[in-house]
Amino acid sequence: MSELHCPSCGSCGFPMREPADFAGGDPDSGFCATCGDDHGQLRPYDAVLEANAAYYVREQGVNAEAARELARALLASMPAWKSAAPSHPRNP
Ligand SMILES: [Zn+2]
C-alpha cells in the first residue's frame, strides 16, 4: 500500500493523490472530496456517513444497511470522528 507516500483523508482514510481528490480541490484541506465541502471543511457526520455508505454499496455491492454499518465502523476509527464517537469518550 502507498499510504506512507500520500496523505489520507482524516475522516475516512481515503488516499488523496490528486488535487481533485481533496475537498474543494485544496491539498491543504486534510479531507477528501467525499467528506469535505467545496471550501475544504468537513461535512456533518450524517452526510459523511451517507457518502461513505454509498461508496460501499457502489464498490462492494453490499446492501444499504450493511453499507451504513461498515461506514459507521470506519468513521469511528478515524481521527476526525474519534472525539465524537459515543462509545469511548476520551478525556485528555
Ligand atoms: Zn474522506
Give the three-state DSSP class for 15: strand
Give the three-state DSSP class for 12: coil
Global pTM reads 0.79
Helix ranges (DSSP H) in 1-92? 45-60, 64-76, 79-82
CB under 5 Å of ion ligand 1: residues:
9, 11-12, 14, 32, 34-35
- Cα-to-centroid distance, 18 and ligand 1 (Å): 14
More confident residue, 52 or 3: 52
- Cα-to-centroid distance, 13 and ligand 1 (Å): 6
- Cα-to-centroid distance, 80 and ligand 1 (Å): 10
pLDDT tens column, 8-56: 999 999 999 999 999 999 999 999 999 999 999 999 999 999 999 999 9
Among residues 18, 22, 47, the alpha carbon closest in space to that of 32 is found at 22
| CA 3 to the chain's CA centroid | 15
